A and B are shown apart, each in its own frame.
Chain A
Amino acid sequence: MLYIEDIEYFDLVVIVNGCEVCRRVPTHQRLLDFLRDDLRLTGTKEVCGEGECGACTVILNGETVNSCLILAVEAHGSEIMTIEGLSHGQNLTDLQQAFIEKHSVQCGYCIPGMVLSAEQLEHEQAQPDREIIKQGLAGNICRCTGYHKIIDAVEQKGDR
């Protein structure tokens, strides 16, 4: 996070994973830090901090965004879904199940962002083919898997 001498604050109201949250936040705070540091929703990860890796992906008003590039105050009045909101406890989605069955996960650090991007892709397109899946996930970096088994999972889920 940026170091700022004179901090200004803002009373933020957002809906996070279905619950209304009211917090006073510094105006320079990134949405990523608000979710992680203030709400302790640590499933959202920071990797590059520059909008290049997709690890910090969350769903803001129905669109995937990189939460490292957005200020918390910009989300005022919005609805946010993080990885924690996707599976509420133990009920994994079909896509999450497919990630498990297809051996799509290795270290896992990219996976929350990858899952949310893939969910969004499937939301927008019923049965994406491999090319479309590749394009849809091109903004999510994974250093472990080479993506093959991740693409397999999204493809299988689309087949169901």
Chain B
Amino acid sequence: MSKYQSQIGRSLPRVDAADKVAGRTRYLTDIYLDRMVYAYPIYSTISFGTIVAIDPAPAAAVPGFITTLLALDIPGENQVGVIIDDQPLLAAETVRFKGDVIGVAVAETESAAHRAAQLVQVQYVEEQPYLSIDVSKTAQSKYIHSSNIACTHRVDRGDISQGFAAADRIIEADLVTPYQEHYYLEPQGCIVVPETDGRYTVYGSIQCIYYVQKAVARALGIPFSKVTVIQTPIGGAFGGKEDVPSELCARSALAARVVGRPVKMVYRRHDDAQLTSKRHPFQMHYKIGVTNDGRLLVAEINLVENAGAYATLSSVVSYRAAMQAMGPYVIPNIKVLSTAYYTNLPPAGAFRGFGSPQATFGHERVMDHIADQLGIDPVELRLKNVLRPGDMTLTGHQLKASVGIEATIKQAADAADWVNRRRKNTSNGRYRFGIGIAASHYGNCLGAAGWAMDGAAAKIQIRRDGSVTLAYGLSEMGQGANTVITQMAAEVLGIAPERIIVLDPSTDLVPDSGPGVASRNVVMTGNAIRNAASQIVPVLKSAAAEMLETDPDRIELRNDSAEDTDSGNAVNFNDLANHLFISNRPMDSLGWWHVPALKYDPETGVGEAYFTYSYSTHIALVKVDSLTGLVQVEKIWAAHDIGRAINPAGLEGQVEGGVAQGIGWALTEHFQTKNGSVITPNLSTYLVPTTADVSQVQTILVEDPEPLGPWGAKGIGEPAVIPTAAAIANAVSQAVGAPMDSLPMTPEIVLNALD
């Protein structure tokens, strides 16, 4: 009997890497179809007001012009809001930000469509816009929607007045975090192809194919069954392609319906910055009561989010921020209020972390304020309060297993030589050094608020020659999903990963699996694969037993074959697959997994907010130039409890990329608007980290298995970015000797703090 080699925990090279290094991968932008035309949005040039007249006539002068489409050309419903129905597909009366889409211009070439869109004349009656949270709060009338509040969430647990009465010290802080632009390299884009039978095929750089299916069907007034959505390889998304593609696809579908030809729409970079969603800016107030020896007794937290002109995913971001507002600590009395306000700015929406990086900036800065005021070491303070198995989270969720936060703090601190580095003299002439820590917990999947759609499918199909195809409902967006699910499927079938091809996600392949977000893939698709295996593996074993003339119980699927564990006789997987076919056995199975029911009270925010949590600790070592104010991150130690590492090298890649985005958000990425216009739309004004800006990263994987995770695994995509900026701010605070309570920490701001 040969030795069994597990696919789990193995750094299998990415299944898509060869095509990508050779430039063979066909992204949406690379697809050219016969008779294809181009569409481009016509959008508002004012921040807030009413449309009084639209004159498309000047556009007709552009050679190659075909048509323009406005709200009245929508055969179905003029609505594209993903959670709250507040967003018209094409604005007909009110426009709510510079970039609110009013219509679509269609032409034979991309440049003609763009030019035609610019030439459409729109007249408005302008209103005074609300260009900040503070102004939005003061509105008495003329609201952006029926009110200026997009949503609120709360947590109300224990008794905060008793808590404050019992506290030795009360510590307060105000924290501010800015917008962040995704700056995915591949722009937003889609192609809609009209088919026979009134059907449409949609291709695009899309995280959530089922959202797009609904949006297109809704706009055209046709059943979902007539809309097939196929995801093309995604050139970066980070949340930015969660809901926004629904807009592009539905608008392009309107054009495809009228023109009867394939329609391509790709946003130009400046428009991508002005029209699409970003990370929510937050204003936070923390009031914490502690004992003199550093135990957290009570927290009163007010989170205020800038939702921009439409709610998009604000309610999910606001929910997650509230549920995680005090981090991975025991706190018996807590009140959190989380409110998202509309403003006349580009919508804020989904961005890797979904409110967690902001909340983590809040609770981790405040933990350092507490440590400073009590004279306790920041690591010690955290370890004193950290969640352990049996403890309750801030929402009152009693944790049973896979609570690796303590291990991440200890292992990161050990690796960083925290005790010595923290004590060392932090100044060296021109340069000052600092070290800071931040810890966080991230609720896996959609949580109680999104439970109804927290199920996902995976389909295994065995071909007669022993090759295998895999289909699933979530998405590869660069994070390595296809590789990880290939490993998991190879593991359950006992076959070589090379036998498996992962199909591009399509709404035709598997049932609605909800959105490709929330670091769901490993857990959801992994469990769905195990469920599929529970159906097909017995079939494979019975076929093998028949071939080997033995009992199915004695068959093991491994080493690319089915082996009789007693005799050692084996059949190759090729022969086994063929035998399935000729013996009239099923050759595929559809697996499904749904997050188990969560006990949660939406009124009080108390209960099981998520079914499990990934835990992370980042420690940052920084060097601050006291002459220029420039901060260089020297090293990040990133410890992550991910339950179980399916592909350790891929995990490291996620962590390193997340850290780089965290460094950008903390230091270099200064997203700015002026009178509602984005004034940092390009790489010379919006500084995405380059090779010169990134630090060393040491990834530390803590494997504390989650009983409900496939092979014990939990999500990593978002946790990778969540604590970085807070750790850097804590380190810079130590280096400059002043609290850094807002981001980004640009050189000017750091110089001011040094004075």
Residues of A within 8 A of B (CB): 1-3, 5, 36-37, 40, 42-50, 52-53, 55, 82-84, 86-87, 92, 96, 99-101, 103-112, 115, 133-135, 137-149, 151
**B660 & A109 in contact (Cβ 8 Å cutoff):** no
- Cβ 8 A contact of A105, one of B16, B186, B269, B661: B16
Using Cβ atoms and an 8 Å threshold, which residues of chain B touch A100?
Answer: 13-14, 17-18, 21
Going nearest first, the 7 A-B pairs with the smallest beta carbon separation are A43-B23, A107-B478, A109-B235, A108-B20, A146-B660, A83-B23, A42-B30
B contact face: mostly helix, strand, loop, or mixed: loop
From known contacts A108-B25, A134-B692, infer whether A103 and B18 are also in contact, taking CB-CB under 8 Å: no
Chain B nearest CB, measured from A32 CB (Å): 12
**At the interface, yes or no: B684 with Cβ under 8 Å from chain A?**
yes
Which of A48, A83, A108 contacts B683, CB < 8 Å?
A: A48
Residue pair A138, B11 in contact (C-beta under 8 Å)? no
Contact B694 A146 (CB under 8 A): yes
Please indicate the chain A residues that have their CB under 8 angstroms from the CB of B112 in the complex: 3
Report Cα–Cα, A135/B26, bound state, in Å. 29
On chain A, the residues within 8 Å of B27 by CB distance are 42, 45, 109
Among residues 154 to 200 in chain B, which have CB atoms less than 8 Å away from a CB atom of chain A? Answer: 182-187
Q: Which B residues lie within 8 Å of A115 (CB)?
A: 21
CA A50 – CA B681 in complex, angstroms? 12
Chain B: residues with Cβ within 8 Å of the partner, total of: 63
Indicate if the CB atoms of B688 and A143 lie closer than 8 Å: yes
B24 at the interface (CB under 8 A from A): yes
Tell me which residues across on chain B come within 8 A of A109, comparing CB atoms.
27, 184-186, 235-236
Chain B contacts of A42 at CB under 8 A? Answer: 23, 26-27, 29-30
A1 near B110: Cβ-Cβ < 8 Å? yes
User: Does the CB pair A103–B649 fall under 8 Å?
Assistant: yes
Contact B16 A148 (CB under 8 A): no
Q: Which residues of A contact B480 (CB under 8 A)?
A: 106
The stretch of B128-136, B537-545, B651-659 in contact with A is B651-659
**Chain B residues with Cβ under 8 A from A111's Cβ?**
20-21, 23
Q: List chain B residues, Cβ under 8 A from A133.
A: 691
In the bound complex, do residue A108 and residue B235 qualify as a contact, i.e. CB atoms below 8 Å apart? yes
Does B238 make an interface contact (CB < 8 A)? yes
- Listed in ascending order, the chain B residues whose CB lies under 8 Å from chain A are 11, 13-14, 16-27, 29-30, 32, 62-63, 110-112, 114-115, 182-187, 233-238, 268-269, 477-480, 649-650, 652-653, 656-661, 682-684, 688-692, 694, 697
* Partner of B29 from A46, A108, A148 at Cβ < 8 Å: A46
A147–B23 touching, CB < 8 Å:
no
Tell me whether B478 and A108 are in contact (CB under 8 A).
yes
Alpha-carbon gap, A112 to B11, bound state (A):
23
Q: Chain A: which residue is nearest B658 at the CB level? A: A146
**CB-CB nearest in chain A for B27:** A109
What residues of A have a CB within 8 angstroms of the CB of B658 in the complex? Answer: 146
Give A136 to B269 CA distance when docked, in angstroms: 25
* Cβ-defined contact, B21 with A99, below 8 A: yes
CA distance A49 to B16 in the complex (A): 26
Q: Are the C-beta atoms of A103 and B13 separated by less than 8 Å?
A: yes
A103 B650 Cβ-Cβ under 8 A? yes
> Per a CB cutoff under 8 Å, which of B22, B32, B697 touches A43?
B22
Contact partners of A151 in chain B: CB under 8 A: 691
Alpha-carbon distance between A3 and B683 when the two chains are bound, in angstroms: 23
Closest Cβ of chain B to A144, distance in Å, is 5
In the complex the two chains form, what is the Cα distance from A146 to B277 in whole Å? 23
Q: In the complex, what residues of A have CB within 8 A of residue B114's CB?
A: 3
Is there contact, CB below 8 Å, between B653 and A149? yes
Asked whether A110 lies within 8 Å of B697 as measured between CB atoms, the reply is no
Check B186 against A101 for contact (C-beta < 8 Å): no
Interface centre among A44, A49, A108, A112 (most CB of B within 10 A): A108
